[in-house]
Amino acid sequence: MPQQPPIADYAFLSDCRSGALVGRDGSVDWWCPTRFDGPSVLGRLLDPRAGHWRLAPVTPGRVERAYRPGSLVLRTVHHTATGSVAVTDALAAGPGARGHELGLNSPAVLVRVVEGLTGRVPMRLDFAPRPEYGRLTPYLHERPDGSVLATAGPVVLALRGGGPLRVAGDRVRCDVTVAAGQTVGFDLAYGAAYGDPPARLDPVPTLADTVRAWEAFRETHRYDGEYADLVRHSATVLTGLTYTRSGAVAAAATTSLPERLGGDRTYDYRYSWLRDFAMTMRALWVAACPEEADRLFAWAARSAGRIGEAPVPVLFGLEGERELAERDLGHLRGYADSRPVRVGNEAWRQRQLDVPGEVILAVWRLHEYLGETFDTEIREMVVDLAEEVAGTWRLPDRGMWEARDAERHHLSSKVFCWVALDRAVELAPRLGKRADPVRWAAIRDEIRATVLRAGWNEQVGAYTGVFGSAELDASALLLPLVRFLPATDPRMRATIAAVERELGAGDGLVRRWPTDPAAFLMCSFWLVECLVLAGEPERGRAVFERAVTHANDVGLFSEQVDPVSGAQVGNTPQALSHIGLISAAWRLTDPATD
């Protein structure tokens, strides 16, 4: 089997409904056309046999890539011995869509346009669709209009182009020479076997219209703080991970990319976590994306619903689904032979006590925007969450890193229980008659005293990840960020220093815990914020500027970075990594921000 490209080789395409990944070699190796968490029709990312669409020069050469400004439209220039061509790739916006309409009527069409720049370049197209995560090999039909129709199970795919498409066994081939000044377009359209047929679009004007849609969206993002280009690009990535129909933000566009090559920590991140909610809301507001923040807030309130006897849900499908049962796709080899390949995420069943605090923190941050009087749904949600915390904070849980072995008393979970009640007390005047700020304040103070006593490990000289444990955990860096302790507190200073010393992996990278196989980028950005709050902004700036060098050539971060090889690992692009960049850049701009 051929070696798979590095994760950093992939660029991200989005129509704000689904996502695709295209490599430096011109191969689209991941596309789930129905929505981010739907089945793939191109899945070579997870198995060389699971489908791809390659369009590139016959003879490879030097490659340069960049997104069109303010967009997720990718332009790749191939320099070969006989000339140069540019291939521009995009998931098409709906006809005439502008700004926040992007994604509402996406036609599920992948557009690829080849432009001759110099000389003459022989190009080759190789298309091997494999729907249902590679389980199906479709029938391929050459049509009178020159297109090829691929049909299998519930899927219909129509490939059209400016060259002679021919069926060769289980794939489609096309060879075309592109001369300077010549433009050749191709499009791949998805349709349901028993629904609407694939859309018919002209690739060249569709591409131009999609660029205009992204440009209109970019005009709504008006961040003017430090590292503006990085922040705006990260905001564009978050926009690309947004499922516009509901406002949910997917944690990543992929499933099962491993935290360590060959390892089994391979999870499906194509869903939306309530834990990420407050951090995402803050990042969107910092990046001046208020409409996205508003839609995300409405999605979270609707998805959480009434809080009952079961633990507060941890994550949801992109339209609010709760049942996300995890299963293994045993027929797939996995990226770099990393198994299992998972669909669904069993964390939806877990108790994670920090989640109510994350949600109430988001409401607190938005309280001025939400008005003097909250609507009934928000009032009920905050009160129910506060009551949930008041009754459960003493229980063990799986923690924010979603441990799969046992429940424990996690420091960060207890701190966010404190956050939930602390902010609920502040919000009490807007919460109606059911608010109980006196009782909440008493429990809040009890939680604080417990954390200060049980969370500190005298032998280690730091706050550790679990009560009674000697193991450091980078989540302790959250204490100053949620106002539990000032970063200048002597014990907090000691904890920051211990995390930097013991969990620092060099080059601005920070692991979550001592045996973590790779550095977690979000933790690096937490360290930046802590150093700024501790009165060391220049050290924080240095960590920031080293950490951002780990983006790939088109500015994307995966979840983690291998500190030895420098390779990106984990699902990509990872929303939390880009959220961390935005928050850290704003902290460097305005240290007093909440």
| Distance of alpha carbon 170 from alpha carbon 149, whole angstroms | 12
| Distance of alpha carbon 416 from alpha carbon 476, whole angstroms | 11
DSSP letter, residue 591 = T
Dihedral Cα 442, 448, 451, 454, nearest 10 deg: -60
Please work out, in degrees rounded to the nearest 5, the angle formed at the alpha carbon of residue 110 by the alpha carbons of 105 and 115. 125
Residue 35: alpha-carbon gap to chain centroid: 14
Query: Which string of DSSP letters, residue by residue, matches 378-435?
Result: HHHHHHHHHHHHHHHTTS-B-TTTT-SS--B-BHHHHHHHHHHHHHHHHHGGGS-TT-
| Residue 520 belongs to some domain of the structure | no
Please work out, in degrees rounded to the nearest 5, the angle formed at the alpha carbon of residue 279 by the alpha carbons of 273 and 285. 125
Angle formed by the axes of helices 575-589 and 275-286, nearest 10°: 50
Q: Tell me the CA end-to-end span of the chain in Å, nearest whole number.
A: 50
Residue in the block written with tokens 């969107």: 284
532: three-class secondary structure by DSSP: helix
Residue 376: alpha-carbon gap to chain centroid: 31
**Do the Cβ atoms of 510 and 520 come closer than 8 Å?**
yes
At residue 184, φ and ψ (nearest 5 deg) are -130, 130
| Residue 100 belongs to some domain of the structure | yes
| Residue 476 belongs to some domain of the structure | no
- 3-state helix, strand and coil shares in percent for the chain, rounded to the nearest 5: 35, 25, 40
**Do the Cβ atoms of 312 and 274 come closer than 8 Å?**
yes
The sheet with strand 560-561 has its strands ordered as 519-520, 560-561, 568-569
| Distance of alpha carbon 325 from alpha carbon 304, whole angstroms | 18
Beta-carbon count within 10 A of 54 CB: 17
| Residue 585 belongs to some domain of the structure | no
**Do the Cβ atoms of 509 and 569 come closer than 8 Å?**
no
| Distance of alpha carbon 400 from alpha carbon 411, whole angstroms | 10
Amino acid in position 457: N
**Do the Cβ atoms of 550 and 523 come closer than 8 Å?**
no
| Residue 586 belongs to some domain of the structure | no
Across-strand partners of 569? 560
Across-strand partners of 114? 87, 184
Residue in the block written with tokens 């407050």: 278
pLDDT tens readout for residues 387-431: 999 999 999 999 999 999 999 999 999 999 999 999 999 999 999
| Distance of alpha carbon 279 from alpha carbon 281, whole angstroms | 5
Amino acid in position 344: G
| Residue 247 belongs to some domain of the structure | no
Angle formed by the axes of helices 437-454 and 411-427, nearest 10°: 160
| Distance of alpha carbon 210 from alpha carbon 203, whole angstroms | 10
Segments forming the whole domain that contains residue 117: 7-218
| Distance of alpha carbon 390 from alpha carbon 513, whole angstroms | 29
Name every residue whose Cβ is closer than 8 Å to that of residue 98 and which is 6 or more positions away in sequence: 212, 213, 216, 217
| Distance of alpha carbon 353 from alpha carbon 414, whole angstroms | 7
Across-strand partners of 148? 142, 159
DSSP letter, residue 55 = E
- Selection from 424, 489, 482 nearest residue 462 by Cα: 489
- The whole-number pLDDT of residue 1 equals 44
| Distance of alpha carbon 13 from alpha carbon 556, whole angstroms | 11
- The whole-number pLDDT of residue 100 equals 67
**Do the Cβ atoms of 540 and 200 come closer than 8 Å?**
no
18: domain CATH number is 2.70.98.10
At residue 106, φ and ψ (nearest 5 deg) are -60, 130
- 3-state secondary structure labels for all residues of 255-277: ECCCCCCCCCCCCECCCEECHHH
DSSP letter, residue 165 = -
- Selection from 472, 493, 349, 478 nearest residue 413 by Cα: 478
| Average pLDDT by stretches of 10, the chain with 594 residues | 86 97 98 97 98 97 97 98 98 83 86 98 98 98 96 97 94 98 98 93 96 87 91 94 92 97 97 90 84 81 73 90 96 97 96 95 86 83 94 97 96 98 97 97 98 98 98 98 98 98 95 97 98 98 97 98 96 97 96 86
Taking CA atoms, 125 is separated from 10, 131, 295, in Å, by 18, 19, 40
Amino acid in position 316: F
At residue 39, φ and ψ (nearest 5 deg) are -65, 145
Per the document, the length of the chain is: 594
Bond before 573 cis per omega within 30 degrees: yes
- Selection from 221, 189, 231 nearest residue 206 by Cα: 189
Across-strand partners of 54? 27, 126
Domains: count for the chain = 1
| Distance of alpha carbon 385 from alpha carbon 395, whole angstroms | 15
- The whole-number pLDDT of residue 96 equals 81
Tally the C-alpha atoms within 13 A of residue 580's C-alpha that lie toward its C-beta: 31
| Residue 107 belongs to some domain of the structure | yes
| Residue 182 belongs to some domain of the structure | yes
DSSP letter, residue 466 = B
